[in-house]
Structure 1
């Protein structure tokens, strides 16, 4: 559970932040951008770690920017890193990796939030009580 120490968190794009529609950009997954903004507000460094390159990568970065999330680094461990496949590994340094290809699949941003911050109230119960995204978010992020 994240409390006070800052973490470096690597996050996949297709199937994790947005529905997997590659090479197109899918719709944002529910609570993805809200959770990412909360993580940034708490001082965590977010790295976009995706298969996308070139113009497809630029589209993804811009899509996230338009939704209020700018990453600490994109497809690298830190902003100044230069990739040279002869000298640099594509593996990046991060404390956590959030990806839809994890063993067991992507659990959803509500579950990720609870894993990082601990349960404040059962998410399924909140969803049953509150059908609107706005009321759910106001309870989820009220801390």
Structure 2
């Protein structure tokens, strides 16, 4: 799978133009994805020296990119085009500006490894599907039954309830 990965806010904390601290497990996850033969493209707004610094930051930590801010250099420009497309071709884009923001890197790895969508990941790990299928009325009546049982067990508001005796 070809995976395009943003740098600032995704691999490291936002400190642009400086390089922020590594986001926990970002580099380890990228290394694992490479070990599983995924191709990584660094996809960043950084250019020139700032981009080189980002590439070097990752390289020093063991992450080599298939391409940087472009498709692979061996890919040729079609004859009817004057230049390559700016948008990189990838199967998956990991970016902190995704709708719904960036999940943690453990979740990202699990979704890629299991080939899950974000929705399926949430359903599998947070049991959202089951809770969504429960009607609101059933939830209300279940809570009412539990409250009623608690009240009965404590003897509060029962038919034979008498006020506590007063102290003299």
| TM-score normalised by length of structure 2 | 0.63
Alignment match, 1:131: none
Counterparts of residues 125-136 of structure 1 (less than 5 Å): none
Structure 1 distance, partners of 2:101, 2:75, is 30
| Over 3 Å off, 4+ runs | 80-83
Bigger relative contact order (CA 8 A; separation at least 6) = 1
Alignment match, 1:111: 107
Alignment match, 1:132: none
Alignment match, 2:27: 33
Give, in angstroms, the shift of residue 67 of structure 1.
0.7
Structure 2 distance, partners of 1:111, 1:94, is 19
What is the aligned counterpart of 1:89 among 85, 90, 99? Answer: 85
1:72 and 2:66 matched? yes
Q: Would you tell me which structure has more helix in proportion to its own residues?
A: 2
Stretches of structure 2 that go unaligned for 5 or more consecutive residues are 115-120, 126-168
Give, in angstroms, the shift of residue 82 of structure 1.
8.0
Deviations 1:72-126 (A, max 9, x none): 100011134589x95322111100000000001111101101211248xx7xxxx
Counterparts of residues 48-63 of structure 1 (less than 5 Å): 48-63=42-57
Stretches of structure 1 that go unaligned for 5 or more consecutive residues are 1-6, 123-143
The alpha-carbon distance between structure 1 residues 111 and 55, as it changes in their structure 2 partners (threshold 3 A), is: same
Deviations 1:37-56 (A, max 9, x none): 00000001000000000000
Structure 2 distance, partners of 1:67, 1:82, is 30
The number of equivalent residue pairs is 115
